Amino acid sequence: MAPSLLELTDLHTHFATDRGELPAVDGIDLTIRSGEIVGIVGESGCGKSVTSLSIMRLLPEPLARYAGGSIRFKGEDLLRAKEKRMKQVRGNEISMIFQEPMTSLNPLLTIGEQIGETLRVHRPVGRKDAAAKAVEMLRKVGIPRAEGVAKAYPHQLSGGMRQRVMIAIALCCEPELLIADEPTTALDVTIQAQILDLMKTLNRETGTAIMMITHDLGVVAELCERVVVMYAGKIVEEGSVHDILTDPRHPYTQGLIRSIPRLDEERERLYSIPGQVPRPGAIAQGCRFAPRCEHAMPICGEQLPELIACARPAHRSRCWLNTAQEVAN
């Protein structure tokens, strides 16, 4: 097994609001190994984006506060790292791509400049070499007529092309970890498949680990080896893609899977999990999913279950049902 590249231990990220300090990420443990593709799944507001921005330390401090835990990257705790060190990490050792390719590029700079800039920040290369490398990166991410595109401005490209450019920017310094925050959500389905394909190929070729943040289990099935399901700032289930998709143990994961439209079933209405993700701070005690759960028991409202192994050691779930099953066995 490859050594762990990134290790989040009991990460707490809080936000100062008018209603006091609220936990957006509430005690997350997560490990990503070199070269691995891990999916982070959950609805909007479950804390997956905050987790990724915490790793990059890009949240607006002091509005956001890292209230506890650690983020170990190759053994170094990024939460204790100085800003100067973080600048070396960002874009160089850990890169990030975002959901909105339409607005994530600077409209006033050419594509070539925006790729070359990253290189020039982190490597001792001249303007010319950076420009040449930018064209090379554009080719690598499958952009035709790369020389022409390098001289183009973002508004001259389509959404899919822009996301490829974002990937080129992210990968030009050969980072060890790529955080992709819903990179395909804003794209057409066919373009989505192309981008996922590209990410998979690049992962194989360069060995860059990918942390794939998404709400789409289809994307996870396509791309990832391991999945972490988040709900209201906590991990509720994690395991291999196969285990999670074929044998989900947490009612929330089961709900997510049931709400995927299927071609081989006739249904009047698509299933949807009733209710909404609770707002941070609205959770008093017990399991956070209990108010929306169809299996809720008295204990669910009183005590938060632990994340424990079920069926297989690597498949863990945070649900009283599992505990009950284990006792029964």
Residue from 88, 158, 276, 285 binding another protein (CB under 8 A):
88
The minimum distance between CB 100 and another protein, in angstroms, equals 5
Candidates 74, 87, 200, 292; binder of another protein (CB under 8 A) is 87
Q: What is the rounded CA–CA span in Å between residue 101 and residue 117?
A: 18
Residues 21-80 that bind another protein (CB under 8 A): 56, 58
How far is Cα 188 from Cα 103, in angstroms, rounded to an integer?
A: 16
Among 153, 194, 206, 292, which residue interacts with another protein (rule: CB under 8 A)?
153
CB 211 within 8 A of CB 176: no
Among 15, 66, 73, 98, contact with another protein (rule: CB under 8 A): 98
Residue 117 found at the interface with another protein (CB under 8 A): yes
Q: Which of 13, 49, 54, 118 is in the footprint of another protein by CB under 8 A?
A: 118
Using CB under 8 A as the binding rule, whether residue 122 contacts another protein is answered as yes
Asked if residue 328 binds another protein (CB under 8 A), the reply is: no
Least distance to another protein, CB of residue 58, Å: 6
**Single-letter amino acid, residue 245:** L
Q: Which is nearer to another protein, 121 or 304 (CB)?
A: 121
Q: Which is nearer to another protein, 85 or 295 (CB)?
A: 85
CA distance 102 to 120: 24
Question: 164: which DSSP letter?
Answer: H
Of 41, 78, 169, 196, which lies in the binding site for another protein, with binding defined by CB under 8 A?
Answer: 169
Q: Determine, following the binding rule CB under 8 A, whether residue 136 of this chain makes contact with another protein.
A: no
Choose, by CB under 8 A, the member of 51, 92, 208, 317 that binds another protein.
Answer: 92
Which stretch in 30-38, 118-126, 140-148, 218-226 sits in contact with another protein by CB under 8 A? 118-126
Q: Token match 């957006």: residue? A: 24
Q: Is 133 in the site for another protein (CB under 8 A)?
A: no
What is the per-residue DSSP string for 178-214? EEEESTTTTS-HHHHHHHHHHHHHHHHHH--EEEEEE
Closest distance of CB 8 from another protein, Å: 18
Q: Determine the Cα angle at 258 with ends 254 and 259, to 5°.
A: 120
Say how far apart CA 323 and CA 318 lie, in whole Å.
Answer: 9
Please report how close the Cβ of residue 37 comes to another protein at its closest, in angstroms.
20
First to last CA, the chain: 31
Q: Tokens 């390098």 sit at which residue?
A: 150
The dihedral formed by the CA atoms of 308, 309, 310 and 311, expressed in degrees to the nearest 10: 180
Q: Among residues 67 and 173, whose Cβ is nearest to another protein?
A: 173
Q: In the beta sheet, which residues pair with residue 163? A: none
Q: How far is CA 167 from the centre of its chain?
A: 15
Q: Which residues would be at the binding site for another protein (CB under 8 A)?
A: 56, 58, 87-92, 95-96, 98, 100, 103-109, 117-118, 121-122, 153, 155, 166, 169
